[in-house]
């Protein structure tokens, strides 16, 4: 069985191929809803991949990543409110804002670890939420419509197929980078720090700095997802920063396969697909979803991709490669 | 090869003095063993030397430089490296990856985000050399978590070697090993002598007397005596305290 | 500066603080001893509030409502502990977070199914209507009763933890759980008991908060996060820390919301103050937390863990 045909290796290219077909299928079937639905999946896959960098590779359980989604979203909505529709300005605010917020929060939160870290990231996201709710001028609790979508010259993110294409491309680049990062010195050192931070320091690196860098990169990439989300919904609100969104991102990462490359994409797909499916069954779908999450936490820790890889390893044992599949 | 001196090194834990004005002088290229009964404070001493524990008093000089206030990673970069008594390798990585990371950490930096670690020729060469020295090259592709206990201890050592140290702090490298395995490691360490300055903390007396140029005896945190293996073997107080014989 | 207003707000702050303490006390012990991140604690608070509202609506007796709330929260807490929580003690914190997150989702929706999304109106019990005369002004009797009740619980828990054998076990468990287990203490039972008592306290807080705050699905979420801030400021595992931190947070938050906008109006022009005032006020507690973390990451009164 050649390396390329192993299910775990083929999974990601296959997913991207299928996702690329969606806008065309939607046009043919005259179901524009498909494009926006899958665009949403792509965007959350970007956010989940970003979280995977901090959580999966770095072992940093951040329960406040929805904050970065909000930063990215408002980085589009606020300039738009003031009449600025240039995508470049939005992008600048998004990346700068995301990086700055992540750096500050990361620096403070990483003074602690374990339970305290989780609680503190949660608290900071809540702070961001309350801050935006109290800014009545920008809509507060009611939210703010996005007055002008991001324009990059001829590219107008206000058009669903264009947004889809951009999101697909961003996810592709991000996922490719994550797969390279895994084996690169930074990724290896970060994953080592997750396993044994004390040892990493004793070897001559500074685990705290590595983790802060990872957290900052993670927050910035997540902000990018937020900016895309603002364009998709043409609307932003503080509720996109609520802690339940942070929790949902974590569920996506774990469900897909924490620390794997394909995991976040798979996780976003399955999570949002399941949510949509359950919504069709009952309006009280959360009463079903909640227990499913509990069961996943108790029994399904490897996630879908992790499960595929374990299955594969037992049936076709490979010469152990560069930490392939494992976190 | 570097030298290491401590001057009146002290460590208090609350009211308890664990390291009591220890003065060590380890010469370049020497293999200096530290022995002592359990609870003598040997691991605490190593932690103070590696920088993982902040000393309450005294000074540590590494190759003439005062490193007393230096953090762990800074000392590691200066070439002062340690191995752990309780195996502390990265279980999810392969043997080669463990060694390569150690090599990279000590000599370079980790701020590379694209090309693989194993594509770095310097790190890879140092790692492979270290695996050869410790006899692990056949297991280069094995995840560290799947190694046998003895092999893990060797990986522990390989990681320290891959970093191309100037001084090695070895904390009970033979802990938990069988007689054959200990003999292997003793042979290994014999080969390392003269290439590195080594401070060896060990309980295995055969290994200590076979390898050490000089031996220091640590009792209740205090350095009781330093001498050649013969001197230590014959010293009546050492025999009483450590080897358990009656003092008449 | 209106002195009456100041005193009234100070008392309101104490009242909020006391509620936070009831929530934080149980939670910080669960964090410190079992090392379990319980995000579902807010749901137990919600259970207490709904149970009390139902019981009071049915019977009209405040005492009965309280007891019902305690029993309901205790029951739910014990069920959760034995079925889900106890299986996760040895796992990663990530697993705790995921499981309890799923539980919160379930409880919030379950409440919505039964009572709908609208808030439930709970009136102040008959016996506690009116005001009490304090230092020359009238302060709502009910709020005053909350403060008193909370302080009684605080003193009771202090006596329990520092003067009884069970309390000694709890303190030992906070410092060295493995040792306590090794000494032959039935640690499983102790854990369940601890979790249950924490749940009960949360239920009491919910029952008392009913007439003052709104009783609705999701009411536990925001207060849980504030409780987490209290625990972080006070020090994980420390009930003493939780006490002082809860009072500080309660007062800072309440006074901040009233006085920060006023203060801002003195130094900045009205439009800026009106925009920034509430924003700053809502952030005040988190800024306090950030400050404490910057200076003392282990909290103000850390429990010394071996």
Measured in angstroms, the CA of A41 and the nearest CA of chain C are apart by 21
Q: How much is the pLDDT for B108?
A: 74
Q: Which chains touch A (3+ CB pairs under 8 A)?
A: B, C
What proportion of chain C, given as a percentage, has pLDDT over 90? 41
pLDDT in tens, C227-274: 999 999 999 888 889 999 999 999 999 988 888 888 888 887 777 777
Tokens of A206: 């500074």
Q: Which residue matches tokens 């003895």?
A: B150
Please check the confidence at residue C134 and state whether its pLDDT lies above 80.
no
Among all residues of chain A, which has the CA nearest to that of B115?
A184
Q: Residues A210, A43: contact at Cβ < 8 Å?
A: no
Bridge-based pairing state of the strands B214-219 and B31-35: parallel
> Is B84 near chain A, with CB under 8 Å?
yes
Gap between the Cα atoms of B18 and C157, Å rounded = 38
Q: Residues B106, B77: contact at Cβ < 8 Å?
A: yes
Q: How much is the pLDDT for B84?
A: 87
User: Average pLDDT, stretch B197-206?
Assistant: 89
The segment(s) of chain B belonging to CATH 3.40.50.300 are 1-79+166-248
Nearest to A62 by CA among A242, A209, A215: A215
Q: Which of C105, C222, C290 sits opposite A290 (nearest CB)?
A: C105
Q: Where are the alpha helices (H) located in chain A, listed in sequence order?
A: 7-29, 32-52, 66-81, 87-109, 114-134, 160-183, 185-203, 207-233, 243-256, 263-281, 286-299, 303-315
Residues of chain A predicted below pLDDT 50: 1, 320-327
Q: How much is the pLDDT for C252?
A: 92
Compare A204 and B246 and report the one with higher pLDDT. A204
Compute chain A's Rg from CA coordinates: 20
**B176: alpha, beta or left? (left if phi > 0; alpha if psi -120 to 50):** left
CB pairs under 8 A between A and B: 110
> Is B159 near chain A, with CB under 8 Å?
yes
> Is A116 near chain C, with CB under 8 Å?
yes
Q: Name the phi and psi angles at C53, rounded to 5.
A: -60, -45
Gap between the Cα atoms of C227 and C200, Å rounded = 16
pLDDT in tens, A246-260: 999 999 999 999 999
Q: What is the mean pLDDT of chain B?
A: 88
Interface test with C, best of A58, A123, A125 (most C CBs within 10 A): A123
Q: Which chains touch C (3+ CB pairs under 8 A)?
A: A
Compare C175 and C28 and report the one with higher pLDDT. C28
> Is C262 near chain A, with CB under 8 Å?
no
Q: How much is the pLDDT for A68?
A: 97
Please check the confidence at residue B57 and state whether its pLDDT lies above 70.
yes
Q: Which of A181, A188, A196 sits opposite B88 (nearest CB)?
A: A196
Q: Which residues of B touch A192 (CB under 8 A)?
A: 90, 93, 101
Please provide the distance, in angstroms rounded to a whole number, between the alpha carbons at the two ends of chain B: 43
Which residues have C-beta within 8 Å of that of residue C41, sequence separation ≥ 6? Answer: C23, C26, C27, C30, C198, C199, C202, C220, C224, C227
Compare C133 and A48 and report the one with higher pLDDT. A48
Q: Residues B82, B106: contact at Cβ < 8 Å?
A: no
Name residues 111-150 of chain B within 8 A of A (Cβ): 111-118, 120, 141-143
Q: How much is the pLDDT for A5?
A: 63
Whole-model pTM?
0.90
pLDDT in tens, C164-198: 888 888 777 767 777 877 888 887 888 898 899 99
Superfamily of domain B1-79+166-248: P-loop containing nucleotide triphosphate hydrolases (3.40.50.300)
Gap between the Cα atoms of A33 and A46, Å rounded = 20
Name residues 290-319 of chain A within 8 A of B (Cβ): 319
């Amino acid at each position: 069985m050649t390396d390329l045909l192993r299910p775990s290796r083929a999974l990601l290219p296959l997913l991207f191929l299928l996702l690329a077909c969606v806008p065309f299928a939607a046009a043919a079937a005259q179901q524009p809803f498909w494009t926006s639905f899958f665009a949403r999946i792509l965007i959350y896959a970007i956010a989940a991949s970003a979280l995977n960098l901090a959580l999966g590779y770095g072992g940093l359980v951040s329960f406040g990543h929805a904050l970065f989604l909000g930063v990215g979203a408002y980085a589009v909505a606020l300039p738009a409110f003031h009449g600025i529709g240039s995508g470049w300005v939005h992008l600048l605010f998004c990346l700068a804002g995301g990086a700055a917020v992540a750096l500050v929060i990361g620096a403070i939160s990483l003074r602690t670890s374990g339970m305290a870290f989780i609680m503190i990231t949660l608290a900071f996201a809540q702070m961001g939420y309350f801050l935006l709710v109290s800014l009545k001028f920008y809509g507060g609790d009611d939210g703010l419509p996005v007055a002008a979508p991001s324009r990059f010259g001829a590219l107008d993110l206000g058009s669903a197929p264009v947004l889809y294409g951009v999101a697909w491309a961003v996810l592709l680049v991000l996922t490719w980078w994550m797969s390279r990062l895994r084996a690169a010195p930074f990724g290896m050192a970060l994953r080592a720090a997750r396993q044994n931070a004390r040892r990493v320091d004793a070897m001559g690196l500074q685990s705290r700095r590595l983790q802060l860098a990872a957290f900052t990169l993670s927050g910035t990439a997540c902000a990018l997802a937020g900016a895309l989300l603002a364009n998709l919904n043409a609307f932003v609100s503080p509720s996109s920063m609520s802690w339940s969104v942070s929790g949902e991102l974590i569920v996506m990462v774990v469900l897909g396969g924490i620390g794997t490359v394909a995991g976040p994409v798979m996780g976003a797909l399955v999570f949002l697909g399941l949510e949509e499916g359950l919504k069709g069954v009952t309006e009280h779908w959360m009463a079903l979803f909640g227990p499913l999450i509990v069961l996943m936490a108790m029994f399904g820790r490897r996630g879908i991709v992790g499960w595929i890889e374990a299955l594969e390893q037992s049936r076709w044992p490979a010469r152990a490669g560069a930490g392939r599949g494992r976190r | 090869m570097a030298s290491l001196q401590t001057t009146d090194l002290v460590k208090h834990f609350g009211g308890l003095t664990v390291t009591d004005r220890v003065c060590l002088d380890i010469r370049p290229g020497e293999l200096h063993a530290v022995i002592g009964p359990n609870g003598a404070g040997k691991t605490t001493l190593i932690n103070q030397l590696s920088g993982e524990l902040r000393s309450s008093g005294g000074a540590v000089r590494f190759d003439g430089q005062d490193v007393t206030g230096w953090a762990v990673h800074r000392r590691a970069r200066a070439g002062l490296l340690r191995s752990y008594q309780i195996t502390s390798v990265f279980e999810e990585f392969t043997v080669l990856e463990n060694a390569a990371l150690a090599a990279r950490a000590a000599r370079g930096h980790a701020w590379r985000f694209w090309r693989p670690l194993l594509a770095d020729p310097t790190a890879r060469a140092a790692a492979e050399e270290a695996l050869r020295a410790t006899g692990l090259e056949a297991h280069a592709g094995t995840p560290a978590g799947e190694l046998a206990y003895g092999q893990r201890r060797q990986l522990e050592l390989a990681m320290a070697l891959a970093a191309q140290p100037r001084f090695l702090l070895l904390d009970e490298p033979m802990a938990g090993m069988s007689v054959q395995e200990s003999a292997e490691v003793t042979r290994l360490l014999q080969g390392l002598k003269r290439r590195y300055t080594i401070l060896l903390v060990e309980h295995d007396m055969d290994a200590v007397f076979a390898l050490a140029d000089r031996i220091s005896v640590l009792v209740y945190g205090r350095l009781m005596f330093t001498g050649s293996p013969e001197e230590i073997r014959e010293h009546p107080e050492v025999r009483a305290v450590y080897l358990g014989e009656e003092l008449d | 500066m209106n002195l009456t207003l100041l005193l009234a707000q100070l008392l309101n702050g104490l009242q909020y603080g006391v509620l936070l303490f009831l929530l934080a006390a149980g939670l910080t012990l669960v964090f410190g001893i079992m090392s379990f991140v319980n995000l579902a604690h807010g749901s137990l608070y919600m259970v207490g509030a709904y149970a009390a509202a139902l019981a009071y609506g049915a019977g009209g007796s405040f005492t009965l409502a309280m007891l019902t709330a305690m029993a309901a929260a205790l029951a739910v807490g014990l069920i959760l502990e034995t079925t889900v929580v106890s299986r996760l003690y040895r796992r990663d914190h990530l697993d705790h977070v995921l499981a309890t997150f799923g539980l919160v989702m379930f409880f919030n929706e379950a409440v919505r199914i039964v009572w709908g999304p609208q808030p439930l109106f709970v009136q102040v019990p008959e016996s506690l209507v009116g005001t009490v005369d304090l230092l020359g002004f009238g302060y709502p009797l009910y709020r005053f009763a909350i403060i008193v009740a909370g302080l009684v619980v605080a003193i009771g828990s202090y006596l329990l933890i520092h003067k009884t054998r069970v309390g000694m076990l709890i303190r030992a468990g906070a410092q060295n759980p493995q040792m306590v287990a090794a000494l032959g203490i039935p640690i499983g039972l102790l854990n369940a008991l601890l979790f249950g008592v924490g749940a009960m306290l949360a239920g009491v807080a919910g029952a008392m908060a009913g007439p003052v705050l709104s009783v609705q699905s999701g009411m536990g979420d925001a207060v849980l996060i504030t409780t987490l801030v209290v625990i972080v400021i006070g020090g994980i595992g420390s009930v003493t820390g939780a006490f002082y931190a809860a009072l500080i947070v309660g007062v800072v938050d309440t006074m901040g919301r009233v006085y920060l906008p006023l203060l801002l109006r003195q130094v900045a022009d009205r439009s800026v103050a009106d925009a920034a005032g509430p924003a700053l006020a809502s952030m005040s507690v988190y800024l306090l937390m950030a400050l404490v973390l910057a200076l003392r990451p282990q909290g103000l009164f850390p429990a010394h863990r071996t």
